[in-house]
Structure 1
């Protein structure tokens, strides 16, 4: 687009999920900026020719009470932006429960603001995430195998939001009293059938779960949502994964000439000599990436998290981590600062025991993440770096909150769900910095655990992650 009208406004329920949505738009010729807070008119005015605006949130880790306090003002600002579609972007595995990250609560709050004619729920992503919905049941791929989400090796035993039900209608029904229906794959073979089925279902059911097994299904869903959004008196509020950006909406926008998916402003950048990585992820995937980095010339700095969570010793632990990292950077080497190397790292239990003994009235993850953010902030202020990386979804949220950023714009592909972004900030030390935020399971599309190396190299060539 070349005018000032927005196609989409989206809220990501965590930071890495937000950059995943941002990547899906940038990779398809859609100019989008992700703000840390709902932008003011003056802040929006700093950017020309925007097609979409996002806000990076943390509602996935919030209680319903916290969500009801946080989300209304954000949704009201989105209403002022007047984009036809407002997307509440959730994880492709639908991480949520009645107690934490309740998607039902988000819908309840949103409907008080938007009064959307119905709330579509679209979780299919196909490539690259391998998420499919059949007869309202969510399936997810892991290690080349396909699992129903309640039997998925990771999600069935998730420490915060374990998935005990694969039928999204039933799962969501535990989080909201609004009526929920579904439109299954039998009605997605033609646009006419899909439109008729959705309209019929929406007569009685306010929330409509949509099946999706392939890119054709997603394209028809994008067509339908755009038609219903532009026909409605108000805005259409939609819930779903980044498949809405990666496939559904962009496919239809391209077809009707609102965007050109061949635009190439999302391209590999030049390599840099050194980067700094802050890792708070305890996943096995990230542990393998840390090992790869160590084998390829990165210096590792183990953060003393036991001391970091003790207020009497935290300052010394921060100083030591910063000093060690600066020594490596001054020697011309990239560095990875980490809190754990995999789920079995003994530092995890030891840190939790120390934290509980200290008796701080706050969750360990948020407290530790904020401390890591303070370390990274000081490091970036002292080091002359052009590029950085944060590993871990929750860690990214807490670290970025310490950097006083205004907005991010995806500029280069690195791995699906973890693009390289350009930082906009009022602080000179951070403005223009390139940063990649990766969730624990994000990895490059090859047989190596070289995500950090790919960030250092400026990403990968665009056709390696291009979504069509």
Structure 2
């Protein structure tokens, strides 16, 4: 049977490079009153109709953790599937700290792939997201320590969680210089002075960059008004016949949602109560998440450490998962919230053991994320099937995509606007233990120290 086309045109379709980032974009769109659903694979028209009518859809991808040489195989079919849905905009959603390197998850390579699939006049790049504590000025990115917290603001290459990131350390805050290490495509800039000068000056600056040969244009964003102006430019650049392809943080969704004023803002919803304890599965190495784990353990949580190095050894893998699962089961049965973790900060000896195991086995970068995410998802699934856990929180961008798949999540819709960049979502799944599950996908750098304890209430 052939899928029939959807009768409601999509305004936006996005592919997120990890699961946590995909729910960030979902949150922005849902807040604006846009009917949005997040899928694990590009949906067919019949799947859209089953959940419709929808204004926007997302795909929770995994490209952030992939070696750059594997990106084309992952993204070409995904982009083509989104293009065939005929949305007005297609967005490649990246982390708001622009996590990328020439060897892993190269955003420059994504720009090349997107330029090949989509026939737009240029590719807008929007990374600044003031609501998340991310500001782009004269092409340089600044980020607050802990999204939604009162942490300090740092230039990207001096950010405590970014300069020594285990997979994609930030060595450059100028995003155009960073992209120049990953692609030869010329990238222009529309800066804050152009945006502050008004719509005509902003458009003139954009046209000047395109006339100079820019294939992509980075837009500064320090304020919501800047994003509003960027959204006007993006809407004016979109064609009726083909989607406009863009790259960036959820600043893209914020910029476009500001233009779609017909949508009524979503009504606030309360988080449904639960009698069962919270289960956190954390594959993050971020110091922000380490502080949240410390705070949780000081406030009644139990811990279930997972030996990540053992996951890379077939002889030890099964026992490591079994030991962690048993510790989680004991605590959950006693009614205590639990945090399963693979790291508690830079000094955790498990990090050195993992690095040694990776080097000894010459494993590719994505193998660790796949093994950790798969194990965490399997542990959470067993706890749900046993009726021991209520809400679930997945912490860590690189591992989240694999954890979501191991849990059997098919799609998500926002349930509760819990934290900037980290909503509580309702999962849809063919597994009754997961269908309807209230779940949070939290990036490593999202939240204040009390994130887990607040979610457990």
TM more than 0.5? yes
1:219-248 deviations in Å (ceiling 9; x for gaps) = 01111211221x453110111111122x31
Query: How many angstroms does 1:108 deviate by?
Result: 1.1
SS at match of 1:46: helix
1:66 equivalenced with 2:73 (yes/no): no
TM-score by length of 2: 0.91
Query: Which of 207, 217, 220 is the matching residue for 2:226?
Result: 217
How far the C-alpha of 1:320 sits from its partner, in A, is 2.5
Q: Secondary structure at the match of 1:414?
A: strand
Q: Compute the RMSD of aligned alpha carbons.
A: 2.2
Instruction: Using the TM superposition, name which of 75-84 and 179-188 deviates more.
Output: 179-188
Tell me which residue corresponds to 2:157: 150
Partner residue in 2 for 1:241? 249
Task: Give 1:351 deviation, angstroms.
Answer: 4.4
Deviations 1:91-139 (A, max 9, x none): 1121222221111111111122111111111111112x22222222222
SS in 1 for 2:294: helix
Q: 1:11–1:87: 8 Å Cα contact kept in structure 2?
A: yes
CA offsets per residue over residues 380-405 of structure 1, 9 Å max, x none? 22225442111111221221121222
Check conservation: 2:397, 2:442, Cα contact below 8 A: yes
Instruction: Say which of 130, 134, 138 aligns to 1:131.
Output: 134
Call closer, same or farther: CA 1:427–1:350 in 2, change over 3 Å: same
How far has the Cα of 1:361 moved from its partner? Answer: 4.3
Are 1:336 and 2:344 counterparts? no
Q: Is the 8 A contact 2:65 2:369 kept in 1?
A: no
Cα distance 1:45–1:386, how it changes in 2: closer, same or farther (>3 A)?
farther
Q: 1:12 aligns with which of 3, 9, 16?
A: 16
Given that residues 26 and 411 in structure 1 are in contact (C-alpha distance below 8 angstroms), is that contact kept between their aligned partners in structure 2?
A: no
- Contact 1:385-1:433 within 8 A present in 2 as well: no
Kindly indicate whether the alpha-carbon contact (under 8 Å) linking 1:181 and 1:209 is maintained by their aligned counterparts in 2: yes
Matches within 5 A, 1:424-443: 424-443=428-447
Q: Is 1:226 matched with 2:235? A: yes
| CA shift for structure 1 position 356 | 5.5
Given that residues 12 and 89 in structure 2 are in contact (C-alpha distance below 8 angstroms), is that contact kept between their aligned partners in structure 1?
yes
Give the whole-Å Cα distance in 2 for the aligned partners of 1:163 and 1:295.
32
Hey, what's the Cα distance between the residues in 1 that align with 2:108 and 2:308? 35
Where 1:33 maps in the other structure, the secondary structure is strand
Deviations 1:350-391 (A, max 9, x none): 34445666x474533432332233222222222254421111
Is 1:414–1:454's contact at 8 Å kept on the other side of the alignment?
Answer: no
Task: Tell me the secondary structure at the aligned position of residue 422 of structure 2.
Answer: coil
Q: 2:282 aligns with which of 264, 279, 284?
A: 279
Gaps of 5+ in 1: 458-468
Q: d(CA) in 1 for partners of 2:372 and 2:403?
A: 10
Q: Is 1:318 paired with 2:308? A: no
Structure 1 distance, partners of 2:84, 2:183, is: 26
CA deviation string 1:306-361 (max 9, x = no partner): 5444322322222232222222222222222222222211232234445666x474
**68-77 vs 365-374, which moves further:** 365-374
Q: Tell me which of 29, 36, 41 is aligned to 1:37.
A: 41
Per the TM alignment, residue 78 of structure 1 is displaced from its structure 2 partner at its CA by: 0.7
Question: Any idea what SS the aligned residue of 2:258 has?
Answer: helix
2-structure distance, mates of 1:144, 1:310: 38
Residue 299 of structure 1: aligned partner: 302
Aligned residue pair count? 443
Of 421-430 and 232-241, the range deviating more from structure 2: 232-241
Partner of 2:3: none
